[in-house]
Amino acid sequence: MARLDFVKMHGCGNDYVYVVAVKTRPADPARLSIKLADRRLGVGGDGLILLCRSSAADARMEMYNADGSRAEMCGNGIRCLARLAYESGVARRNPIRIETDCGIKTVWLKLENDRPIAATVDMGAPILEGREIPAAADGRIVDYPLHTGEASQRITAVSMGNPHCVVFVDDDRIFNMADDDFARLGRQFERHPFFPRGVNTEFILPLSDRRLRMRVWERGSGETLACGTGACAAVVAASLTGRAGNAAVVELRGGNLEIQWRSGKDQDGHVMLTGEAVEVFRGWLEVGEQDLTAG
């Protein structure tokens, strides 16, 4: 038998199991993610994230959802990964450049006594062209009528390296919806043929031009307490539709995220995400020798 060390971490309640996969790594990370993410029979989490070496950046993030599917990016996950990279010595620098499946992201760590407690991530520029999100329409998809199983909803689609469908609501009923009912609603969007690769869906109640409330259904993981890329997409969508400015605090079930879309004249159009990066606990698993391979 062999030993696989892991770290449980979260950003605003968006929790993952992290493995430093520099020397050795899981042979089948998709299968391992399903096993570990189970909140009754496993460690519990929204998925598995591997910290790997990179030839193009300081480190690489390899991410798997709770259902074993591969994910391109996670704004909460990358903050925690940057902390782990710094504390483990894989990338003892600040800022840290991390390679993801949607490009290289720069992360600035907030340190207290050389201990990372939060981070700001340059999430890059949002993708607004429908076919590139991808979605089944040309041009920008802003307040677009989408027919779901129950009704027609007005949506705004944004990609932050992964696809998002933002639905604005007029009151707080969505936040009081029972979990089973919310799951049925979320799946109607996640598997909608309008989004050929599936979609993350954010339900947003604008509270002011600088504050949004959000409940999210994530592709491959279900409802999560927070979604960093989703919060970024929400602020972009709110700005595009005139519901908020280009900087806002997003209130999620797991905490708050600060988002700024640098969309003004002479700015680069990138979205900046700031939030906590929390270690919950460390542990190890006993696995078979065949379950590990070289990193």
Residue 74 annotated as catalytic:
yes
Is the model's pTM score more than 0.85? yes
Matching fold, domains 2-122+277-294 and 130-269: yes
Q: What is the CATH number of domain 130-269?
A: 3.10.310.10
Residue 80 annotated as catalytic:
no
The 10s digit of each residue's pLDDT in 86-142 is 999 999 999 999 999 999 999 999 999 999 999 999 999 999 999 999 999 999 999
The 10s digit of each residue's pLDDT in 132-160 is 999 999 999 999 999 997 789 999 999 99
Residue of 52, 74, 165, 232 with catalytic role: 74
Give me the torsion for CA of 89, 92, 96, 102, rounded to 10°: -20
The 10s digit of each residue's pLDDT in 234-277 is 999 999 999 999 999 999 999 999 999 999 888 999 999 999 99
Answer whether the bond into residue 26 is a cis peptide, omega within 30°.
no
Name the region of 229 (left: φ>0; alpha: ψ -120 to 50; beta: rest).
alpha
2-122+277-294 topology per CATH? Diaminopimelate Epimerase; Chain A, domain 1 (3.10.310)
Q: Above pLDDT 90, what percent of the chain?
A: 96
Spans of all domains in the chain: 2-122+277-294, 130-269
Closest CA to 194 of 236, 246, 153, 235: 153
267 Cα distance to chain centroid: 24
**CB contact at 8 A, 239 and 142:** no
Tell me, what's the pLDDT at 21? 97
- For the chain, the DSSP string reads -EEEEEEEEEETTEEEEEEE-SSEEES-HHHHHHHHH-TTTSS--SEEEEEE--SSSSEEEEEEETTS-EES--HHHHHHHHHHHHHHTTT--SSEEEEETTEEEEEEEEEETTEEEEEEEE--PPB-BGGGTT-SSSSB-SSEEEE-SS-EEEEEEEESSSEEEEEE-SSSHHHHS-HHHHHHHHHHHHT-TTSTT--EEEEEEEEETTEEEEEEEETTTEEES--HHHHHHHHHHHHHTTSS-SEEEEEETTEEEEEEE--STTS---EEEEEE-EEEEEEEEEE-GGGEEE-
Tell me, what's the pLDDT at 295? 84
Residue of 12, 80, 165, 227 with catalytic role: 227
- 143-157 per-residue burial string, b: 16 or more CB within 10 A, e: under 16: ebebebeeeebebbb
